Structure 1
């Protein structure tokens, strides 16, 4: 394995349960919830490493997010996916904190207005939960549809962001 493909991980506690943080080549490449749909097998996470600068930075930023002290993440990411998936994930990062968009709107934002279903599939494959805010995508009716970590976690994340915004005013 080359230095650029070496993977390490750590597990941190959060209000939505344990989060497994994964770094590839020293850059954050995964944030996985327990029992998350499309969660890779544990053996692919690499060796445990609670001292990795990338994982420590991600853990700190996530703790700040859950405390209501952070509304944007700055930790560098190494996202592995198809060009379409990466376009969707980049568009997710443009959804403002505390706001939601529906799948069709996200599809239009990436120039693929008829690809709402494909956007949903790419959204579900997001390897960096919370930091790449796939929880901010909802159904066209406004219903909380689909979240790889489960709807109770999606509800928690959206409520946290709304509460943070209303207490900062």
Structure 2
């Protein structure tokens, strides 16, 4: 009689241990599956993001090529450099506060060109005109404004718009 009561708690303990172990193994498998699915989702999102960035880059590149082609064919000119005058006291080119040009009065912001820059350079004129043509598109695609100015500052070291 003593033997039955002695083995009963041991058998119940073994059964509960086996049930607990099986539950643990099931939970580990669920966690593994969940993490695997999470990694797959992140991988797909990263691929979509890279594709989107690539498409955006291609679009901006094509827009710049098209804008540059229009400028090169003289279909578009913003006459930005026509309103510049040399400011001796600052050794820079800039727009005078008293410029009679309607275009100069419509500009908002600042235009200063270092005297070291060659403002007669047609490549500079064409590139600044082309980048200004796609400035709105740059702002829309990137969500950042002022990229035209940043591009020109970096490209020409001293041209601030």
Shared topology, TM-score over 0.5?
Answer: no
Query: Which is richer in helix?
Result: 2
After TM superposition, the score normalised by the length of structure 2 is 0.25
Question: Which has the greater radius of gyration?
Answer: 2
Which structure's residues are more often strand, by fraction? Answer: 1
